[in-house]
Amino acid sequence: MFHTFLPQKPGPIGIFDSGYGGLTILRSIREQLPEYDYLYLGDNARAPYGSRSFEVVYDFTLQAVKRLFELGCHLVILGCNTASAKALRSIQQNDLPYLDPSRRVLGVIRPTVEVVGELSANKHVGILATPGTIKSESYNIELEKFYPGIRVSGQACPLWAALVENNEHLGAGADYFVEKNLNQLLEQDPEIDTIILGCTHYPLLLEKIRKYTPSSIRLVPQGDYVAKSLQQYFVNHPEMESRCTKHGTCEFLTTESSEKFAENATIFLDYEIHAKKIVLE
């Protein structure tokens, strides 16, 4: 079986994203769980994933998960809503059993959904996400399971992740798209009292999103909820916790140029990093 070739000794926690967005998840996780080792992989050369088909997002995500397993991770977190929406279930159900049934891949949608119904007073929730995540209806399906009767409106924001990937998110050009997509969301349901930032890139646009959102509406970035959920996961799964090494380190891999990644990563993290370029296939 393939999995006998995977390293069996404990290793870092893998965090995957199409590009830089997962760094917002990594940052929150490291704040709450600083003792563990992390291996971040950004598929920047092929980002953004948001407008890609189900098949392509699945193929790319599986390649990344396999690589992180080969590099010693026993637990991989898809720090990307698009990958969580389009690839997580297939990987969990179809691929893990033959890759290595003892390894785990977790996503960011479930931990967000679990808390958001509690945050909304009137149960009118909005989701801002990539076209892929919105089209998958993953948030609607999961929210309805946890909070039957909840009203969920989703708005695709096709350019937001690209604005962040291209370091244009603080510029005046971003205002136009942020305002436009927020208005479209609020037109769907003017009673929304809670908005999920359903893409890990969007915390970088938080200031602009706040600017165009009525102050009565609560904005919910996901990082802290994903981190809390991971903490709880380790309490419930001590066998996985013991397979994650603890030296407080963090390494970075990218499919783009390592210099470019290191430079842009400082927008997301408040420390300098070094990155290594890899090829995924």
Decide: is 61 part of the binding site for ligand DGL (CB under 6 A): no
Tell me how far apart the 2 most distant CA atoms of the chain are, in Å.
55
Tell me whether residue 80 is one of the annotated catalytic residues. Answer: yes
C-beta of 43: minimal distance to ligand DGL in Å?
Answer: 8
Residue whose tokens read 């992989």: 41
Number of H helices, E strands in the chain: 14, 10
Stretch that binds ligand DGL, among 47-55, 63-71, 187-195, 273-281 (CB under 6 A): 47-55
Decide: is 169 part of the binding site for ligand DGL (CB under 6 A): no
Q: What is the DSSP letter of 194?
A: E
Stretch that binds ligand DGL, among 2-10, 78-86, 88-96, 236-244 (CB under 6 A): 78-86
Across the beta sheet with 13-17, the strand order is 104-106, 75-78, 13-17, 38-42, 250-254, 275-277
Nearer to ligand DGL, 73 or 88 (CB): 88
C-beta of 17: minimal distance to ligand DGL in Å?
Answer: 5
The active-site residue out of 73, 199, 244, 250 is 199
DSSP 10-46: -BPEEEEESSSTHHHHHHHHHHH-TTS-EEEEE-GGG
Residue whose tokens read 């590099």: 71
- C-alpha 126 chain-centroid distance: 18
C-beta of 204: minimal distance to ligand DGL in Å?
Answer: 10
Nearer to ligand DGL, 42 or 72 (CB): 42
C-beta of 190: minimal distance to ligand DGL in Å?
Answer: 26
Tell me whether residue 199 is one of the annotated catalytic residues. Answer: yes
Q: Which of 229, 228, 216 is nearest to 121 (CA)?
A: 216
Question: Which residues are annotated as catalytic?
Answer: 80, 199
Site residues for ligand DGL per CB under 6 A:
17-19, 21, 47-50, 80-82, 130, 133, 161, 199-201
